[in-house]
Structure 1
């Protein structure tokens, strides 16, 4: 539900940001009988929801636990996540009759469209009298009793103010970093931010070896800073993407390498030695191609070892090709940045917030939820689960 004007000027709760966390918070607070206004500067609500999951919204993950989140305080997210679980949101999805399916690894997607999730949230808000205003950026915010702020059409006062404005990721959807700037203006610590769940770029000299593979996918175990992910990588025109790369990007720091095991189910050296006995005339490229695809296998032979029948490979040859595959060590030049990042790492310091209510410790009646907080989930529905859980936590108290 979106309304163009409102005669109300006083609310119990004002929420800045009509995304996943903000709308969840609004519905929960409204169900408590609170008068709630949601403000969003965009021309429609839930833009990131609408584009997520290829338009089908990976709305949660059945296996989501605190271990699936990155935070400077690894214990912070436990309270909210334990009080609003994936099964709670699944129950809401089923209540609204939204058909869904598990894609893999516990990832749940809408059968039809991400619009079903936005409609679900708006229906929940409408049922409890929440007012939602689009194209309504908040300005001139002053905290007090009550808090006060300005919209383009009128001024507002409220008891509770909730910041659910997201991060910097995908600025074309309207992301501005408003919440970070607002927190800093109040001397609330904001931890350094950077793009997360984002493709890597390669320097031109390295890229030229793989640029013609754009669209080719390979099963791997990809590791960054000791954290490993078993998923596909995808070669792109700019470098590397795919689920394993996106996951690794959240742990990677500029100037570091990532390690990509191209044969995650094998000890490659041992496998080659066995095949030397069983299939001695098989060419190396054909053996590697059983896992890597023929094109990638041929390129690996061109780059690190000429193609030979297995019975002609020396121990040194086997060592060289194994070293290029287990792992393939890659030094990314950088990432594609916020333009394509699914999330923003870092954000409002959780030490400044209550893990139970999401309220700022030094500013009564001020709450931060969702992506603006220094809690970042793994790929696969976990960030939506944090949005639901943190929004629900704040909604119970705001």
Structure 2
């Protein structure tokens, strides 16, 4: 903590510590860990839908919650090795996916279509909104009306900044204005400006960079592991030049720059498959499961040590924090990570069954959004969102409340509410 400035530990609304002896970042971590929004991630899809009968084994695939917990473990250790406050990095990792809606990125796209006339939808921008406005933890009195106003979890400036993967508004990407990625809605610009006080525009703080790489490492390795467990990935197929060509087509432009030479990706895969611990086959036996678990540990260690070594070589020893350093990830490590992402994409996400499921999910969310629009606030809104809807003074704000309500739902809750609001009204 002594390596962070007083401004880093400030909160939007000042408040005393109820339990002296804890650091500000320990409080941040505890608030995120105990939040309802984090718990709801247990019911939100990561890649393989929990309970899917297409799984070859009862593999208990990752949910958004288990992914966030694993990301937090990776980030805490990598951040500590580089001199960051480990509680700060862990809080950011736990919080980074809290704004994601039901049905993963598919749900994100469906909500973005519905909200296109009010600023769109983006999971990372929703996370900031949730942390600073929607998650009920702290309220303050409005200066003019005296009414209680939520400030969300009221995290420190450093924690909110560390959880911000895309520090710009919609259309504000520094190099690609057409990018669909952004980190703040127009409604939330005041608190975003407060979070970013003193920061260089568009730059991510060091802890956010650690969080971002930890996220990449966790989901690339674990999505690959889940794909093997579910029987969708055949390690033997990765030796086929035809299959590899398909994987490179998925990777280039999505996971690596458009001008990447496929030979570079082939070399990355070769480096991985040459390792003694690489899972060349998988049959679901206890021995295979143990070998695969060792492979995931080896991969995580490989990617983290590569970033730690390169960053230390560039910035030296000591505590690397906030805007005093940049995380350096060697190109070779990024390519290896990208290959794992592309393998999971090609063999898990691009299955015909998954596309049929995604099409159904898009219909569910589109119809749910229309039903809530027609029936709110009388039907469908939780008490928290019903009150916000009734207080709204224009259609734009009311529509954003509907988006907030849908985004808060688990996969099962979205389907249940859709059924309740549509089946009996057809």
Question: Normalised by the size of structure 2, how large is the TM-score?
Answer: 0.23
Question: Normalised by the size of structure 1, how large is the TM-score?
Answer: 0.24
Larger radius of gyration: 1
